[in-house]
Structure 1
Amino acid sequence: MKKTLTTLMALALLATGCKDDKKTEETSAKPEATIAPVSDATMENAVIYEANIRNYSPEGTFNEFTKDIPKLKELGVKVVWLMPVYPISMKRRKATADKSIEDITDPAEKKKYLGSYYAITDYTAINPDLGTLEDFQKLVKTAHDNGMYVILDWVANHTGWDHKWITEHPEYYEKNKKGEVTDPLNPETGEPWGWTDVAHLDYKSKTLYEPMTNEMLYWVKEQGIDGFRCDVADNVPTEFWNYAIPKLKEVKPVFMLMESDKEYLLKGQFDMGYGWVAHHLMNDVAKGKKQVVDLKKFLAERPGKYEADDIFMNFTSNHDENAWNGTEYERLDGGAEAFAALTYVMPGMPLIYTGQEYDVKKRLKFFEQDPIDKNAGKMFAVYEKLGKLKNENPALNGGKKPASFKLLYTSDTESVLAFEREKDGKKVIYVANLSKQPITFNIPVDGTFTNYMTGEKVTFKDKQKIEAEGWQYWILTQ
């Protein structure tokens, strides 16, 4: 009887054209899991993809991205990181880096400014610009069906100015001396970051711990997602993460990525951090501000600073780097491919950011739609080959039980990086001229190998002279 009555009520609503979209979304069926729970073993040889849904297609929707998930599988992707999927606040919405939407007077122009994904007005709703909850559920199911885990971008540090907590729970927010809710401040200097479109949350009293954790639990319990990428994780007290993440793991295993490289966070609840130091060194080496010896020094010393099971995400680009500091082609000169290959073979997990697989050479606009051109160029095939090697060769394991890593001596310490990785009887050697100048050098490598990227057999003799063009690299398998 109850089921029949519910059906009749639903039909009546449809017949009258009345529909409560929010309620419809909230009562949608939970996606059924078609993939084993995330585990340490699944992360050993994973590739992660950062999806900027707004700019992935001209439509800027979940559905258009979902269509291409099988293509991501071709690239060896095992983790899909979705940039925030939640509704964006209108109040103080940014139009440009230094202009608010309130500064725009032309109504037609005002419409194009969609704001920052990170100015959230409701943590448990879907941004209608991207689609519906059902569309989101289809994306998650399709990813799971293709052997991929889905993690959501979580912004625990601040909300948009339209969030109901500002009026219903002002005690959740940081205040200035006048008692006014403030935008986020740099904890070291007390100065504003310039994130004027968001309101800074206050964790000092701990009253926020439970409600924020409950918001995260919704996505794990009700929508079956597999973890979170936590925005500015080190701006949120470690105590909160130590409170919240175990509660998520009581529901199911989750994978936790932090936008930080702080060792104290990795010693706690997070699985993977950002490889910021390596990223900035790659940029500086490409620009001639640093030498390869500086990159070698970092790679040699990092294991002493972190624990053996700490994972780092390696990247040549991401949404912040692309938008504010330039594309990998701007920052890495002609070495974009050589450094991309490095992110796959060095310890850690490689990241592909939206558009990198299609050779996109523009800075994607941050506050409005700016779709990529999805015409496969050179890099799709490069990422496909690198992904296959990462997925299949244990010598590139980069998770909690990584393959060994050993730097190799070269006669050119300024320009050449060489190292070997080894595990379970498999070995991979990376050799690269990380400069734009042709060079001659030697390395202590002896044997016949396959040049993985070309498929050709190559023979190296100990300390033989090797000629390399600018940015030339080898990935040697045996």
Structure 2
Amino acid sequence: MTKYLLASALSLLILTGGCKNSTQTDQTETSTTPADTTTVQFGQAPPAPDWAKNATIYEVNTRQFSREGTFKAVTAQLPRLKELGVDIVWLMPIYPISLKNKKGPLGSPYAVADYMSVNPEYGTLDDFKALVQRAHALGLRVILDWIPNHTGWDHKWITEHPDYYTKVKGKMTTPLDPKTGKPTDWTDVVDLDYDNPNLRKAMIDAMSFWVRECDIDGFRCDVAGFVPDDFWQEVRPALDKIKTVFMLAEWEDEPGHFSSCFNANYAWGMHTVMKAVAQGARPATVIDSMIVLNQKRFPKWFYQMQFLQNHDENSWNGTLTESFKEGADAFVVLSHTIDGMPLVYNGMESNLNKRLAFFEKDSIPWGTYSKTDFFKSLLTLKHRNRALWNGQAGGKAVKIQTGDDDKVYAFYRKKDNDQVTVVLNLSDKPVTTRLEGAGYEGTFMEIFTRTSSEMKPGMTITLKPWEYRVYTN
């Protein structure tokens, strides 16, 4: 699905220099949106599975992942992903694709023709079950991309249950933007009507099928904010009766998600801010503004998925290099070390430098996996150092003041006896800067150079353009 959110209101506010603070009490987590100073109270959704506390996510576009474009080809690569440091394998939609009103030669995988079977181009249901079984044997988890807001135009519900669909002047419609009430340009799909309790039951039954019959571990839910929050309140207990699942919302600004269903959401705001810094549009100080805001507006148990690339970003907005220029590696380091759960999009470990076609076959040119050691270093640190764990299992990022905060972003995270300190030059100019403040002192090893350094207030660090240092005890 084409990315629906060009930039969140939060990131726009920070990029233009404004940021309202939220408040917290000892009794209750609170959240305040920039558009409204009303404090929002929320409870806790069912907890994430224990295995998610230091997990990382890897997105697989099955169609483009291999020349074959099959489940079997993905299964063959699972040992490599395990070695890379992946924990959760997120598969883009695996369902049959609607032919009516399809886009391009092959259509969008987000135009679902049947929620309870697989795209025959990818293989059989047994092939998919074998993929999940192999993943579990390796200690990996599998989540499926789920599209609850709409179906393709030739889904069987169109004829068998037309009452499942939204009507405008008596006719089915493309999805409606919940903020404006106007149709989107998603012409290959038709909007579902969640006022119908029978639709809700059918959707929960379909989701339960994959957990019960295929033993998947959760879902990434497409445009989760287009679906009423009270539906998600029904979904989570139904799925957890089968097994405890991990739920990721493709959304950011819906506080109800924290208490209804989801364990994680998209860090759209941080993504927008990082891209602005990489392109020289904003100083590095906006990074910390977003981190501080997110620490206040999200409950401590919630995860944000930090990303630079995904299927939408890559296909529609640009490659890693197009979006983050020469600073791409520095921003990968940042996204893997700040608060949240990092995402690796398939191909990044081979320095993917092309936009993958969305509606036709366009295989990833894998090459030599030239960035494997880089990602492995970051993901290994994520697993071993509690400071980088997710949510309340990890430590919060604390900014270190420097003499060049417009160019340099430095911070540390602590948890129990673990600590990570990160210093990044987020500019295209060399810089020599001093680290100020306190709290990060000690002798640490830099993970990429394997050299030991004593960290202390007043120390001077010289960094090349876009250079990064990651120190750990």
TM range (shorter): 0.7 to 0.9
From 94, 100, 119, the counterpart of 1:91: 100
Instruction: Give the Cα–Cα distance (whole angstroms) in 1 for the partners of residues 69 and 247 of structure 2.
Output: 26
Summarize deviations over 1:201-232 as a string: whole Å, max 9, x none: 01123331101100111101111111100000
Summarize deviations over 1:358-397 as a string: whole Å, max 9, x none: 1110000000111011123432111111111111111111
**What is the aligned partner in structure 2 of residue 173 from structure 1?**
165
**What is the aligned partner in structure 2 of residue 338 from structure 1?**
330
Q: TM-score, normalised by structure 1?
A: 0.86
Instruction: Give the Cα–Cα distance (whole angstroms) in 2 for the partners of residues 183 and 312 of structure 1.
Output: 29
**What is the aligned partner in structure 1 of residue 467 from structure 2?**
472
Give how far 1:146 is off.
0.7
1:209-248 pair list within 5 angstroms? 209-248=200-239
Give how far 1:39 is off.
5.3
- Is 1:451 matched up with 2:443? no
**What is the aligned partner in structure 2 of residue 376 from structure 1?**
368
- The secondary structure found in structure 2 opposite 1:441 is strand
Q: Which moved more, 1:231-240 or 1:442-451?
A: 442-451
For 1:298, give the aligned amino acid: M
Q: TM-score, normalised by structure 2?
A: 0.87
**What is the aligned partner in structure 2 of residue 406 from structure 1?**
398
Summarize deviations over 1:258-313 as a string: whole Å, max 9, x none: 00112221222100100111111110010111211111111112121111111000
Give how far 1:133 is off.
1.0
Instruction: Give the Cα–Cα distance (whole angstroms) in 2 for the partners of residues 81 and 419 of structure 1.
Output: 30
Instruction: Give the Cα–Cα distance (whole angstroms) in 2 for the partners of residues 377 and 57 of structure 1.
Output: 14
Instruction: Give the Cα–Cα distance (whole angstroms) in 1 for the partners of residues 396 and 100 of structure 2.
Output: 51
Instruction: Give the Cα–Cα distance (whole angstroms) in 1 for the partners of residues 454 and 448 of structure 2.
Output: 15
Summarize deviations over 1:136-162 as a string: whole Å, max 9, x none: 011101110110111110000000011
**What is the aligned partner in structure 1 of residue 77 from structure 2?**
68
**What is the aligned partner in structure 1 of residue 258 from structure 2?**
266
**What is the aligned partner in structure 1 of residue 23 from structure 2?**
none
**What is the aligned partner in structure 2 of residue 281 from structure 1?**
273
Give how far 1:446 is off.
4.5
Contact kept, 8 Å, 1:46 with 1:76, in 2: the verdict is no
1:277-356 pair list within 5 angstroms? 277-356=269-348
From 149, 160, 169, the counterpart of 2:141: 149
For 1:451, give the aligned amino acid: E
Contact kept, 8 Å, 1:40 with 1:400, in 2: the verdict is no
For 2:334, give the aligned amino acid: L
Instruction: Give the Cα–Cα distance (whole angstroms) in 2 for the partners of residues 266 and 44 of structure 1.
Output: 17
Instruction: Give the Cα–Cα distance (whole angstroms) in 2 for the partners of residues 465 and 231 of structure 1.
Output: 46
Summarize deviations over 1:51-77 as a string: whole Å, max 9, x none: 101000111111111101001011211
Contact kept, 8 Å, 1:407 with 1:419, in 2: the verdict is yes
From 350, 361, 366, the counterpart of 2:358: 366
Instruction: Give the Cα–Cα distance (whole angstroms) in 2 for the partners of residues 377 and 469 of structure 1.
Output: 25
Q: Which runs of 4+ in 1 moved over 4 A?
A: none
- The secondary structure found in structure 2 opposite 1:222 is helix
Give how far 1:423 is off.
1.0
**What is the aligned partner in structure 1 of residue 110 from structure 2?**
118
Contact kept, 8 Å, 2:300 with 2:391, in 1: the verdict is no
From 22, 32, 53, the counterpart of 1:44: 53
Contact kept, 8 Å, 1:121 with 1:163, in 2: the verdict is yes
Give how far 1:336 is off.
1.0
Contact kept, 8 Å, 2:97 with 2:112, in 1: the verdict is yes
Q: Which moved more, 1:46-55 or 1:199-208?
A: 199-208
Give how far 1:476 is off.
0.4
Give how far 1:465 is off.
2.8
Contact kept, 8 Å, 1:40 with 1:399, in 2: the verdict is no
Instruction: Give the Cα–Cα distance (whole angstroms) in 1 for the partners of residues 324 and 49 of structure 2.
Output: 32
Give how far 1:402 is off.
2.4
**What is the aligned partner in structure 1 of residue 21 from structure 2?**
none
**What is the aligned partner in structure 2 of residue 183 from structure 1?**
174
Give how far 1:341 is off.
1.1
- The secondary structure found in structure 1 opposite 2:453 is strand
Give how far 1:464 is off.
3.0
Contact kept, 8 Å, 1:43 with 1:399, in 2: the verdict is no
Instruction: Give the Cα–Cα distance (whole angstroms) in 2 for the partners of residues 168 and 374 of structure 1.
Output: 44
Give how far 1:460 is off.
4.0
- The secondary structure found in structure 2 opposite 1:84 is coil
Instruction: Give the Cα–Cα distance (whole angstroms) in 2 for the partners of residues 454 and 192 of structure 1.
Output: 53
**What is the aligned partner in structure 1 of residue 7 from structure 2?**
none
How has the CA–CA distance of structure 1 residues 254 and 400 changed in structure 2, closer, same or farther, with 3 Å as cutoff? farther
- The secondary structure found in structure 2 opposite 1:243 is helix
Instruction: Give the Cα–Cα distance (whole angstroms) in 2 for the partners of residues 361 and 216 of structure 1.
Output: 35
Instruction: Give the Cα–Cα distance (whole angstroms) in 2 for the partners of residues 438 and 379 of structure 1.
Output: 24
**What is the aligned partner in structure 2 of residue 205 from structure 1?**
196
Give how far 1:343 is off.
1.4
Root-mean-square deviation (Å): 1.3
Question: Identity over the aligned pairs, expressed in percent?
Answer: 44
How has the CA–CA distance of structure 1 residues 128 and 326 changed in structure 2, closer, same or farther, with 3 Å as cutoff? same
Summarize deviations over 1:117-172 as a string: whole Å, max 9, x none: 00000000010011111110111011101101111100000000110101111110
Summarize deviations over 1:307-356 as a string: whole Å, max 9, x none: 11110001110000101100111000011111111111111111011111
Instruction: Give the Cα–Cα distance (whole angstroms) in 2 for the partners of residues 242 and 41 of structure 1.
Output: 21
- The secondary structure found in structure 1 opposite 2:420 is strand
Contact kept, 8 Å, 1:274 with 1:312, in 2: the verdict is yes
Higher-Rg structure is 1
- Is there any run of 5+ residues in structure 2 with no aligned partner, and where? 1-46
